Amino acid sequence: MTIGRARAWVIVAIVAIMAILGGPAIAAPTTSARPATDAPPATLVSGDPARGSALDPVFKLLALERLRCTFSEEKRVALLARPLRSTGTIYFDRDQGIARATLTPKVQHVVLTKTSLRIKSAKRTEEIPLDKSKDLKAFALIFPTLLRGDRAELERAFELGLYGSDKDWWALSFTPKTASLKKLVRRVVVVGRKGNILSLQVAEANGDTTDTKLTDVRTNADVPDSEIATAFGGP
Burial zone of 38 (CB within 10 Å; 0-12 exposed, 13-18 middle, 19+ buried): exposed
pLDDT, tens only, 34-45:
444 578 899 999
Distance separating alpha carbons of residues 234 and 191, to the nearest angstrom = 30
DSSP 4: H
Q: What is the pTM of this model?
A: 0.81
User: What domains are defined for the chain?
Assistant: 3-22+49-231 (2.50.20.10)
Strand 209-219 and strand 196-204: the pairing is: antiparallel
CA 29 to chain centroid, in Å, comes to: 15
Distance separating alpha carbons of residues 117 and 53, to the nearest angstrom = 31
Residue 26 is predicted with a pLDDT of 31
pLDDT, tens only, 164-215:
999 999 999 999 999 988 988 899 999 999 988 999 989 989 999 999 899 9
Quote helix, strand, coil % in the chain, to nearest 5: 25, 40, 35
**Cβ–Cβ under 8 Å, residues 89 and 71:** yes
Question: In tens digits, what is the pLDDT along the chain, a chain of 235 residues?
Answer: 444 554 554 454 444 334 322 222 233 333 334 444 578 899 999 999 999 999 999 999 989 999 999 999 999 998 889 999 999 999 999 999 999 999 999 998 989 998 888 888 888 888 888 887 788 788 888 889 999 999 999 999 999 999 999 999 999 999 999 998 898 889 999 999 998 899 998 998 999 999 989 999 999 999 999 999 999 985 4
SS3 154: helix
Query: Sign of torsion, CA 175 198 129 153?
Result: positive
Residue 224's Cβ-side half-sphere holds a number of Cα atoms within 13 Å equal to 3
